[in-house]
Structure 1
Amino acid sequence: MQLPRSMKRLVSLLADATAILVALIVAHVLAYLYQPPSDLLRWAFLYVALTIGSLAVFTKLGLYRAVVRYVSFRALGSVLVGVFVSTLWLWALRTMLQLDFPGHAVANYGLMALLMIGGSRLIMREIYHRMVSRRKRRVLIYGAGSAGRQLAQALMNGEQFHPVVFVDDDRTLQRTTILGIPVIDPSQVEDAVTSGQIERILLALPSATRSVRKQILESLQPLNIRVQTIPGMADMVNGDISIDSLQDVNIEDLLGRDPVAPDTTLMQKHIRDKVVMVTGAGGSIGSELCRQIILQKPRALVLFELSEYSLYAIDRELRQLCDRHGVSLDIFPMMGSVQNQARVEGIMKAFKVQTVYHAAAYKHVPLVEFNMVEGVRNNVFGTWATAEAAINARVQQFVLISTDKAVRPTNVMGTTKRLAELVLQSLAERENVSTRFCMVRFGNVLGSSGSVVPLFKQQIELGGPVTVTHPDITRYFMTIPEAAQLVIQAGTMGSTGSVFVLDMGEPVRIVDMAKKMINLSGLELRTRDNPDGDIEISFTGLRPGEKLYEELLIGDNVVPCAHPRIMQAQEDFMTWSAMHDLLQLLDNACEHALYDTIRKLLLQAPCGYTPSEDHVNDLLARPLL
């Protein structure tokens, strides 16, 4: 049962009064070799006066406001000052009372009082921490640097975790103790986990590169112990997150891809002091584009979005971002569909838009496969309508956000995105077009809507199984912030009609990613060889239109650009006359829901469409149940 605060202070006062009495007795015994004092009345008065004066000084110094469990060296400094004043007060009292008490005895009193009053607090703190630590989860902190030490101190004062060992590759720290915690080298981690009954590993490496973090995580993966990490250094410096705000390991750490610092000149070229418009502003890529654009200080930002809630959410977030960074600009949240050319054109003209980032699209492969007409309408005709609006509104720069699924597509979504690229390439060659068009093609982004990463996390939390479509399926991955930065920089390069491809690094096997996420959650993979494991991986088969692997280039003809992670593709395209004829036929087929005709036109278009199935997957094209 917890004592009230007033009762705890009373106990501390009584303990200090007892300590003063014991210190006085010990000092007298050492001076007179166990001879009792001759005048007990004067000695009693001395003790009462000494105790009242000393406790008054301790109270004034705030010694009884300090919580014993959190007592620090600052509080011990107050004890030192208080005991020094108490010792001076004893010297004065023995002079006033004319007691035979030598100077060395007064000094002995001071030393004993300091030892008992300060030591009692340290002992109580240690006893408390030992009692509490038995109920805490034992953790290993990977990294004994500044962040690791701060984390350990925070955990010691908390109620959840008890740090029992540090790990660091700095040989000068190994075989030492920090805050009473031993430091070992990385080769001893497995033994520490096994013998120390450690329940969790905490990474305290906020400044380490992702490649370094990847190496560490790969070494920890076989241990089947939950690994968490502290926030990045920037978040802690800004005060956005505290050092003890533990997070699950980010999937980007598992990829080990270190981002390249953006080129400020390229980032600002078509944004600084300009009016910028983002279509699909509430989506995964669109919203991150808006965040990056805000930091480049445009004159105004137009948010164009079909979803009312998504528009509300991104508008609110961006206004808070502006306040946080001290950026002053106009933000205009506008609702509408990119298929409505009159609406889009009216907005562009009203706000005098100069740069457009076209991120609005349907991109979920199975859903577009099941809703073929709407996929074509939104991705192809929506892009065409927005591009024509930009031309009529004399927009200077138009950047299309494309996808690796547009390369040799096996599904409707990828085909519509490739057709959208061809529309812009054809418009770029049309006469009297002053708008500069370009396209940026890249793979999957981590954390986007429909991404496997949040799905895997949810499945692991629910106890599995983790569903993977195929054992050999691979995908390219990139973080959303890096993708948005590269899109902005790529949009400033090349000539009108250029197709840019982002360097996505090495493709990742989805099943390997799932295994790492399971192991680093502290769980074991359940297999035939390990039937007692925690979570199994279930293979569900490829979904309609899904490929085993994705590509970024149609051919091998690429041109390097100024940025090391941006390349320009050299690809064939259609004349505007041929493209216009195809669009007219496609529009008529969509208008009359001629599914087989739509499929035939997509096959005839120079998109490289090779469907994985020999029938239309649109749900309305199937016989009704």
Structure 2
Amino acid sequence: MGKRKQWALFLGDVFFLYLSGLLALFLRFDGSLTWMNARAWILTASVSVPLLLIANRFFGLYTRLWAYATLRDMWQVVKAVTVLSFIMYLVIAIGRIPISLGAQVLIWGILLCSVSALRLSLKAVQEKWIRAPQLTPHMEKTLVIGAGLAGQMLVKELERHPEMNSHIVGFLDDDANKHKMFFLGYEVLGEISDLPRIVKEKEITRLILAIPSASGEVGRKIRDLTKGIKLKIQTVPALYDLVGKKAAINDLRPIQLEDLLRRKPVQLDHSGMLQVYGGKRILITGAGGSIGSEICRQLMGYEADTLILLGRGENSIYQINRELRELKEKVGYETRLETVICDVRDAQTLNRIFKRYSPHIVFHAAAHKHVPLMEGNPSEAIVNNVFGTKNVAEASLNHGAERFVLISTDKAVRPTSVMGASKRAAELVVDHLVGMGDTKFISVRFGNVLGSRGSVVPVFLNQIEKGGPVTVTDERMTRYFMIIPEAVELVLQSGSLGKGGEVFVLDMEEPVKIIDMARDLIRFSGYEPDIDIPIRITGMRPGEKLYEELLTSDEGTIASKHEKLFIAQKRAIDTETLQTMLDQLRKLSLQERPDNREIIETIMRAAETGRIIHPEALSAADNDHPNEM
């Protein structure tokens, strides 16, 4: 607030200070205000002017934008006037000024109303004359889904920015208590199921979903209700983007496939994660990848002391480092950032890095994940995913890391691909190190993530942009999907809950049919599937499955402390079996054209031996682990 406005408010407060006393005394004495009473109050008010300035400045009454005042701001007015009135009571009592207690209570009430009204008038002027949109025929008739706080904030922003070209018609909300109610002058016209009728009656041209925490079920409901209706559909950013300050409420975007898969927000143990990750040096391998980079972003919010960004590709590490530094400056994080270019296959360099930084916690996200590519390059899958994991895990153990978290995949369950088998072997390597030292070794297994490199979504979008056809391998094919930020939230939660030896399985909810996903993307792009854009079935590629599993038949689960995390039973294999598997894999990786089937069989032969360990027995089993590899 400018100096001139501050002075204007102060002079207004002084005027109302004098006026409130005179009016209170006038009312107190039934309209017979004597000069002696008036003089007593003028003297008291004159002494109280400096006190008024001090109290109002202390409670911030001259440093707030009253055009956007909230109840919290008005509470500051109540406190300032009450403190001032109490001080005036002491002045009157000590000076024996002839003003009764009843009159003083009246003065307090009138002064509070006057000072509040002065400030609320600024808000009224702003809303009525400055923020009121000038409606034109070209403005989009806009219906807002959700009359909660986010919806109201959105409406304020739309009114404040006429360039967003919005003519607000009203709200829709499934809360029956809000129906026919008015918020910010706009009526709640009904519930979401009334959408087709309201759109037709009100000639709506734009729909905005203003529920940041909405699950995918809400998005799917809106999609189904608006089929065949020409309508511009947008959404506010997701809750995790708003909380992480990556987006503002008015950063509108079209509804995307990710919005249909978004889950209901889960209750995370933030205090527990802050206790585990706060103040720690944390190393992330594959930090430039889709999963690794999101781990870095979220760890910034848990007050990590240092993030060591390790990756093989210099460009991706440069980009995530730059992004995190911008985020650090914007939000005020104090986390230090270190960048390291290193290949996880280089054990010697890894040990130098661990010796230099002594990380407390390691997230191992570096891996080759593309199934068809690894079918053609099986040696790379073995060397990177198996022996690279072995190098990082052993470095963590040898240099005293507190925790090691392996990012695994549902493709490790009954694998039919080299990539899936290599991740199963990585789980076996990590599990074998449990109990050899103080490091807690944890694996986290989940399905596909939307937006990751190699995801089907960008492939489909590129095909749609070219006019089709969109290629689907098999119309029966299903996959588990999760949005990257949600998956990483649960990875971090697993890392904080793990006691060592667990294979955490994320609740991926229901699998999604790939052909349905393709049809949704075509519709979101403004076309009709099989009419404007054809879909072609191409047949499964090498190593692919019709469906993925998160567990094998003998891998039951028990619940963890978190509703979306489960702990799988596992098989503990002995040192000799593991070493035999590794020796055979090393030999296969050196062959010019190794047999993919032999690789998978070698790994699964080892994985299916050993005794099953139930999750409750993990702590006891850890003590029985061999101490050498």
Question: The residue matched to 1:491 in structure 2 has which SS?
Answer: helix
The answer for the alignment partner of 1:541 in structure 2 is 539
Q: Tell me if the contact between 1:221 and 1:520 (Cα under 8 Å) persists in the aligned partners.
A: no
Task: Provide the rounded CA distance (Å) in 1 between the counterparts of 2:326 and 2:305.
Answer: 17
Deviations 1:427-479 (CA, angstroms, capped at 9, x unpaired): 336xx544322211111112111122333344444443333222111111222
Q: Cα gap change, 1:467/1:184 in structure 2, threshold over 3 Å: closer, same or farther?
A: farther
Q: Cα gap change, 1:590/1:535 in structure 2, threshold over 3 Å: closer, same or farther?
A: same
Once the two structures are superposed, the pairs formed by residues 54-65 of structure 1 within 5 Å of their partners are none
Q: Tell me if the contact between 2:478 and 2:546 (Cα under 8 Å) persists in the aligned partners.
A: yes
- Larger relative contact order (CA 8 Å, sep ≥ 6): 1
The answer for the alignment partner of 1:215 in structure 2 is 221
Counterpart residue type for residue 345 of structure 2: Q
Counterpart residue type for residue 158 of structure 1: E
Counterpart residue type for residue 142 of structure 1: I
The answer for the alignment partner of 1:593 in structure 2 is 592
The answer for the alignment partner of 1:497 in structure 2 is 501
Structure 1, unmatched stretches of 5+, are 1-71, 73-120, 527-532, 611-625
Q: 1:350 aligns with which of 340, 352, 356?
A: 356
Once the two structures are superposed, the pairs formed by residues 165-176 of structure 1 within 5 Å of their partners are 166-169=171-174
Compute the displacement of 1:572 (Å): 1.3
Whether 2:524 is the aligned partner of 1:523: answer no
Q: 1:142 aligns with which of 145, 169, 188?
A: 145
Compute the displacement of 1:301 (Å): 1.6
Counterpart residue type for residue 431 of structure 2: Q
Identical aligned residues as a percent? 41
The answer for the alignment partner of 1:331 in structure 2 is 337
Deviations 1:349-403 (CA, angstroms, capped at 9, x unpaired): 1111221111100001111111111111110111112122222222222111100
Deviations 1:152-179 (CA, angstroms, capped at 9, x unpaired): 5357x22655555654456677678989
Q: Tell me if the contact between 2:195 and 2:225 (Cα under 8 Å) persists in the aligned partners.
A: no
Q: Cα gap change, 1:226/1:510 in structure 2, threshold over 3 Å: closer, same or farther?
A: farther
Compute the displacement of 1:254 (Å): 1.1
Task: Provide the rounded CA distance (Å) in 1 between the counterparts of 2:605 and 2:501.
Answer: 16
Compute the displacement of 1:414 (Å): 0.2
Q: Tell me if the contact between 2:215 and 2:261 (Cα under 8 Å) persists in the aligned partners.
A: no
Compute the displacement of 1:308 (Å): 0.2
Structure 2, unmatched stretches of 5+, are 1-66, 68-127, 609-629
Q: Normalising to structure 2: TM-score of the pair?
A: 0.68
Counterpart residue type for residue 396 of structure 2: A
Task: Provide the rounded CA distance (Å) in 2 between the counterparts of 1:373 and 1:239.
Answer: 42
Q: How many residues align?
A: 476
Q: Cα gap change, 1:460/1:552 in structure 2, threshold over 3 Å: closer, same or farther?
A: same
Counterpart residue type for residue 497 of structure 1: G
Deviations 1:176-218 (CA, angstroms, capped at 9, x unpaired): 8989987643455324545766544222334545544443344
Deviations 1:286-320 (CA, angstroms, capped at 9, x unpaired): 11111122222222221110000111111112222
Task: Provide the rounded CA distance (Å) in 1 between the counterparts of 2:245 and 2:366.
Answer: 34
Task: Provide the rounded CA distance (Å) in 2 between the counterparts of 1:242 and 1:268.
Answer: 25
Q: Tell me if the contact between 1:147 and 1:206 (Cα under 8 Å) persists in the aligned partners.
A: no
Q: Cα gap change, 1:205/1:388 in structure 2, threshold over 3 Å: closer, same or farther?
A: closer
Task: Provide the rounded CA distance (Å) in 2 between the counterparts of 1:413 and 1:246.
Answer: 38
Q: Which has the larger radius of gyration?
A: 1
Task: Provide the rounded CA distance (Å) in 2 between the counterparts of 1:235 and 1:424.
Answer: 33
Q: Tell me if the contact between 2:214 and 2:262 (Cα under 8 Å) persists in the aligned partners.
A: no
The answer for the alignment partner of 1:20 in structure 2 is none
Task: Provide the rounded CA distance (Å) in 1 between the counterparts of 2:562 and 2:249.
Answer: 35
Q: Tell me if the contact between 1:418 and 1:607 (Cα under 8 Å) persists in the aligned partners.
A: no
Q: What's the RMSD between the two structures over aligned residues?
A: 3.3
Compute the displacement of 1:225 (Å): 3.9
Whether 2:287 is the aligned partner of 1:300: answer no
Q: Tell me if the contact between 2:196 and 2:225 (Cα under 8 Å) persists in the aligned partners.
A: no
Deviations 1:308-361 (CA, angstroms, capped at 9, x unpaired): 011111111222222233222322100010000011111011111221111100
Whether 2:386 is the aligned partner of 1:387: answer no
The answer for the alignment partner of 2:381 in structure 1 is 375
Q: Cα gap change, 1:158/1:173 in structure 2, threshold over 3 Å: closer, same or farther?
A: farther
The answer for the alignment partner of 1:53 in structure 2 is none
Q: Tell me if the contact between 2:502 and 2:568 (Cα under 8 Å) persists in the aligned partners.
A: yes
Task: Provide the rounded CA distance (Å) in 2 between the counterparts of 1:252 and 1:485.
Answer: 16
Q: Normalising to structure 1: TM-score of the pair?
A: 0.68
Q: Cα gap change, 1:463/1:365 in structure 2, threshold over 3 Å: closer, same or farther?
A: same
Q: Tell me if the contact between 1:138 and 1:164 (Cα under 8 Å) persists in the aligned partners.
A: yes
Q: Tell me if the contact between 2:158 and 2:166 (Cα under 8 Å) persists in the aligned partners.
A: no
Counterpart residue type for residue 568 of structure 1: I
Q: Tell me if the contact between 1:344 and 1:386 (Cα under 8 Å) persists in the aligned partners.
A: yes
Q: Tell me if the contact between 1:379 and 1:417 (Cα under 8 Å) persists in the aligned partners.
A: yes
Deviations 1:75-116 (CA, angstroms, capped at 9, x unpaired): xxxxxxxxxxxxxxxxxxxxxxxxxxxxxxxxxxxxxxxxxx
Task: Provide the rounded CA distance (Å) in 1 between the counterparts of 2:245 and 2:324.
Answer: 19
Deviations 1:238-267 (CA, angstroms, capped at 9, x unpaired): 876455432011434312511312212431
Q: Tell me if the contact between 1:390 and 1:398 (Cα under 8 Å) persists in the aligned partners.
A: yes
Q: Tell me if the contact between 2:365 and 2:406 (Cα under 8 Å) persists in the aligned partners.
A: yes
Compute the displacement of 1:556 (Å): 4.2
Question: The residue matched to 2:505 in structure 1 has which SS?
Answer: strand
The answer for the alignment partner of 1:79 in structure 2 is none
Q: Tell me if the contact between 2:152 and 2:183 (Cα under 8 Å) persists in the aligned partners.
A: no
The answer for the alignment partner of 1:112 in structure 2 is none
Question: The residue matched to 2:263 in structure 1 has which SS?
Answer: coil
Question: The residue matched to 1:402 in structure 2 has which SS?
Answer: strand
Once the two structures are superposed, the pairs formed by residues 147-166 of structure 1 within 5 Å of their partners are 147=153, 149-150=155-156, 153=159, 157-158=162-163, 160=165, 162-163=167-168, 166=171
Q: Tell me if the contact between 1:408 and 1:607 (Cα under 8 Å) persists in the aligned partners.
A: no
Q: Tell me if the contact between 1:586 and 1:601 (Cα under 8 Å) persists in the aligned partners.
A: yes
Once the two structures are superposed, the pairs formed by residues 184-263 of structure 1 within 5 Å of their partners are 184-185=189-190, 186-194=192-200, 198-206=204-212, 208-221=214-227, 223=229, 225-232=231-238, 241-263=247-269
Q: Tell me if the contact between 1:224 and 1:520 (Cα under 8 Å) persists in the aligned partners.
A: no
Stretch moving more, 456-465 or 538-547? 456-465
Question: The residue matched to 1:158 in structure 2 has which SS?
Answer: helix
Q: Tell me if the contact between 2:214 and 2:264 (Cα under 8 Å) persists in the aligned partners.
A: no
Stretch moving more, 516-525 or 585-594? 516-525
Counterpart residue type for residue 267 of structure 1: M
Q: 1:605 aligns with which of 582, 603, 612?
A: 603
The answer for the alignment partner of 1:28 in structure 2 is none
Compute the displacement of 1:534 (Å): 2.6
